[in-house]
Homo-oligomer: A and B are copies of this chain.
Amino acid sequence: MRATLLHGPHDIRVESVPDPRVLRSTDAVVRVTAACVCGSDLWPYASHTGAPARMGHEFVGVVEDTGPDVTTVARGDLVVAPWVFSDGTCEFCREGLTTSCPHGGMWGYGDADGAQAEAVRVPFADGTLFRIPGPADSELVPSLLTLSDVYGTGHHAAVRGGVTQGSSVTVIGDGAVGLLGVLAARQLGAGQIILMGRHRARTDLGREFGASEVVAARGEEGVEAVRALTNGQGTSVVIEAVGTRPAYDQAVGAVRSGGTISRVGVPQYEEAPIGTGSLFFRNVRLTGGAAPTRSYMERLLPAVLDGTVEPGRVFDVTTDLDGIADGYRQMADRKSLKVLVRP
């Protein structure tokens, strides 16, 4: 079959690799209906060294084969897979923290397949895959695909941030996760939602997803703008969906005393201010993290199925595997918000 490999910085190639097959009794093989390029793929895309890496960690597909111990999905089922696989049975999985499953792992690492490919071997198919009613060619596929990562991650940010009826929320970042953080906060009943982003087409979509205000300024100026919109106080919740140190600093500046910063942008820094001058005296909570999206699928599915929400609108480019190198380039150049891949 054909799969996407990253050979080095900006060097995306589609190559022939061995067809996946069931190796363990709990495996499934899934033919990929739709995959996508993630904002987080852009970090290795800019800097990858070493052996070529299988790419892609979000996919919807149809089950093609299952090992003898797989009981919850069967050949022909439409399924969505989260961005990490997990056994579904350990203490952490049972608590819903599938990202901390000791047997879990990430697509494209070790012997795990990447999702930007024609098919994928899925470890722990019962724990990992989530079965979806409906036909494989459903027009809901883009929205279903967001359950893999970006919608579930936006929801995680809002849930961990403690968004509830009437909460005031700032969302930092107009990428897919930030925009779906807006959508998720709106679903959870947030009142004021201030979206910080500079790309008009994206922030316009953010308004459609529920943002009440948009702040295009960044840094200290952006923080001042948020404070001006919030009686000088900042918002009770700040969703940080970028991952850079300046975005963190912006979150610290935009959060209200006693409020919560919920991070879902993968931090590109290790140390940052958390002392008396930033979090401590103001009793600001810092939360968020890698989103256990598998655990949110059941909760998020109904509003996708009935069309109440359309998180799939974050996809603005669709390509096949032949066009995927172009897709990476467009996302890296911020010409595309998120690229859907139909292998």
Contacts and interface: CB of A to CB of B under 8 A. Distances in A.
A303 interface: no
A92 B92 CA distance: 36
Interface residues of A, number: 35
Given A258-B92, A273-B270, A286 B289 contact: no
A110 interface: no
B257 A280 contact: no
Contacts of A282: 100, 289
A257 B283 CA distance: 22
Interface in A206-263: 257-258, 263
A92 B285 CA distance: 16
Contact of A289 (B95, B266, B284, B287): B284
Contact of A281 (B272, B275, B284, B289): B289
Contact of A274 (B257, B270, B283): B270
A290 interface: yes
Q: Could you say how many copies of this chain the assembly holds?
A: 2
Contact of A267 (B267, B268, B275): B275
Nearest to A278: B270
A285 B289 CA distance: 9
A267 B271 contact: no
A286 B283 contact: no
Nearest to A283: B289
A291 B304 CA distance: 42
Most buried by B among A92, A257, A281: A257
A95 B287 CA distance: 21
Interface in A76-122: 92, 95, 97, 99-100
A97 B275 contact: no
Contact of A95 (B258, B270, B278, B286): B258
Most buried by B among A269, A283, A285: A283
A221 to B, nearest CB: 23
A229 B1 CA distance: 48
Nearest to A263: B280
A130 to B, nearest CB: 20
A288 interface: yes
Given A97-B257, A270-B274, A273-B271, A286 B288 contact: no
A18 B287 CA distance: 48
Interface of A: 92, 95, 97, 99-100, 160, 257-258, 263, 266-290, 292
Q: Which 8 A-B pairs have the closest CB atoms?
A: A283-B289, A270-B275, A100-B257, A267-B275, A286-B286, A285-B287, A97-B258, A271-B271
